[in-house]
């Protein structure tokens, strides 16, 4: 059984696609591309697809990941192209590697997000970011299926900064952009939780909903504060070992052998 790991996007209007809608679209793409999928056992077999930490509905993403299991080997690059052609524009397969290491989900420990705040100036956003980062805790509440839950949104935030964004034109509304680096913790802290925290500590309330996009997702490096590519270990494992400086070892001569 071959396992292939894929990176895909949710762009434009398709950011409003629910995870279940994407599952249906992806399974149709698997059939159109005639991918030799492995199936689960039981009365209702289904394709062996493992989804990892999908972005919330309504947010865009450049870094979603999944893994599929095949019954026959396929070239990852060709498979990526066939699947990409079988999906609607906006749901794009951007990378594919053969799984040669374990624990893809374990390498998704952090995300980088971009939050576009139309109608908010850079100075106002920077002031709110400063107050958020200066706080020891920022309690926010979110409604879940088990009721309203209150938790700290500050501890999971490893980085937050405000940069200027393009306005809609002369005399139009400003647009601040927040770059957010967040650790994946329990309970999960989402970009809308950070926005709720900015409202709580600095009364920052954009006049229109923020446009949120995940830029990267992977292993969070505590030392550098960056998020690394989770598919890199599989690519590294696929590379052939470099030859040694001495070249291949010579076969030993039989005992007692010498010049004729």
Q: Where are the domains of the chain?
A: 2-106, 108-228
Could you tell me if 112 and 183 are in contact, meaning their C-beta atoms sit under 8 angstroms apart? no
CA 236 to chain centre: 19
Q: CATH number for 108-228: choose from 1.10.10, 3.30.70, 1.25.40, 1.20.120.
A: 3.30.70
Q: Domain 2-106 is in which class? A: alpha beta
Segment 32-42 mean pLDDT: 94
In sequence order, which ranges of 33-98 are alpha helices (DSSP H)?
A: 76-86
Instruction: List the one residue out of 192, 210, 214 whose CA is nearest residue 119.
Output: 210
Burial of 188 (0-12, 13-18, 19+ CB in 10 A): middle
Q: Do domains 2-106 and 108-228 have the same CATH topology?
A: yes
Q: What percent of the chain has pLDDT over 90?
A: 80
Q: Is the pLDDT of residue 82 over 50?
A: yes
pLDDT of residue 254: 54
Give the number of other CB atoms < 10 A from CB of residue 91: 22
Tell me how far apart the alpha carbons of residues 183 and 106 are, in angstroms, rounded to a whole number: 13
Please give the model's pTM, rounded to 2 decimal places. Answer: 0.87
Give pLDDT, residue 143. 86
Residue 169 falls in which region: left (phi positive, over 0), alpha (psi -120 to 50) or beta: left
Other C-beta atoms closer than 10 Å to the C-beta of 6 total 22
Tell me what pLDDT residue 256 has: 52
Can you tell me the mean pLDDT for 61-67? 97
Model pLDDT for residues 201-255, shown as the tens digit of each residue: 999 999 999 999 999 999 999 999 999 999 999 999 988 867 665 555 545 555 5
In tens, the pLDDT along 122-179 reads 999 999 999 999 999 999 999 888 889 999 999 999 999 998 766 555 567 889 999 9
Ranges 7-21, 138-152, 189-203: which has the least confidence:
138-152
Chain centroid offset of residue 192 CA: 17
Neighbours of 60 (CB within 10 A): 21
Q: What's the confidence (pLDDT) of residue 245?
A: 55
Residue 206, burial from CB neighbour count under 10 angstroms (0-12, 13-18, 19+): buried
- Which pLDDT value is given to residue 239? 83
Task: Tell me the three state secondary structure of residue 38.
Answer: coil
Comparing 30-34, 141-145, 152-156, 191-195, which segment has the lowest mean pLDDT?
141-145
* pLDDT of 100 above 70: yes
Q: Calculate what percentage of the chain has a pLDDT beyond 70.
A: 90
CA 48 → CA 27, 41, 44, 118, distances in Å? 10, 10, 12, 41
**Does residue 1 carry a pLDDT above 90?**
no
* Model confidence band, residue 79 (pLDDT cutoffs 50, 70, 90): very high
CB 80 within 8 A of CB 71: no
Residues, the chain, total? 260
Q: What is the mean pLDDT of residues 8-26?
A: 95
- What mean pLDDT, rounded, does the chain reach? 90
For the cut 70, the answer to whether the pLDDT of residue 57 exceeds it is yes
Nearest alpha-carbon partner for 86 in 147, 35, 12, 42:
35
DSSP state, residue 107: G
Which residues pair with residue 117 across a beta bridge? 176
Q: Which residues contact 30 (CB under 8 A, 6 or more apart)?
A: 37, 47, 49, 68, 83, 86
pLDDT at 260: 43
CA dist., res. 135 & res. 230, Å (int): 31
CA 111 – CA 201 distance, rounded (Å): 23
pLDDT at residue 185, rounded to an integer? 93
Look at residue 31 and give its three-state secondary structure: helix
């Amino acid at each position: 059984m071959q396992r292939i790991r894929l990176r895909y996007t949710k762009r434009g209007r398709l950011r409003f696609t629910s995870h279940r809608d994407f599952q249906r679209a992806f399974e149709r793409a698997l059939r159109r591309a005639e991918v030799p999928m492995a199936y689960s056992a039981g009365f209702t077999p289904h394709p062996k697809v493992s989804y990892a930490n999908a972005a919330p509905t309504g947010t865009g993403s450049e870094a979603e990941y999944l893994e599929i299991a095949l019954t026959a080997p396929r070239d990852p690059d060709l498979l990526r192209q066939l699947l990409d052609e079988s999906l609607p524009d906006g749901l794009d397969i951007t990378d594919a590697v053969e799984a040669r290491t374990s624990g893809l989900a374990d390498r998704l420990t952090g995300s980088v997000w971009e939050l576009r705040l139309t109608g908010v100036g850079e100075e106002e956003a920077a002031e709110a970011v400063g107050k958020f980062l200066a706080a020891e805790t920022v309690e926010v509440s979110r409604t879940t299926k088990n009721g309203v839950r209150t938790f700290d949104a500050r501890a999971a935030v490893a980085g937050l900064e405000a940069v200027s964004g393009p306005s809609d034109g002369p005399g139009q509304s400003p647009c601040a952009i927040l770059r957010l680096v967040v650790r994946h913790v329990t309970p999960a802290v989402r970009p809308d939780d950070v926005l709720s925290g900015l409202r709580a500590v600095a009364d920052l309330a954009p006049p229109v909903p923020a446009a949120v996009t995940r830029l990267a997702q992977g292993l969070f490096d505590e030392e550098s504060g960056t998020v690394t590519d989770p598919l890199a270990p599989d690519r590294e494992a696929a590379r052939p070992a470099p030859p040694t400086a001495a070249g291949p070892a010579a076969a030993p001569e039989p005992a007692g052998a010498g010049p004729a």
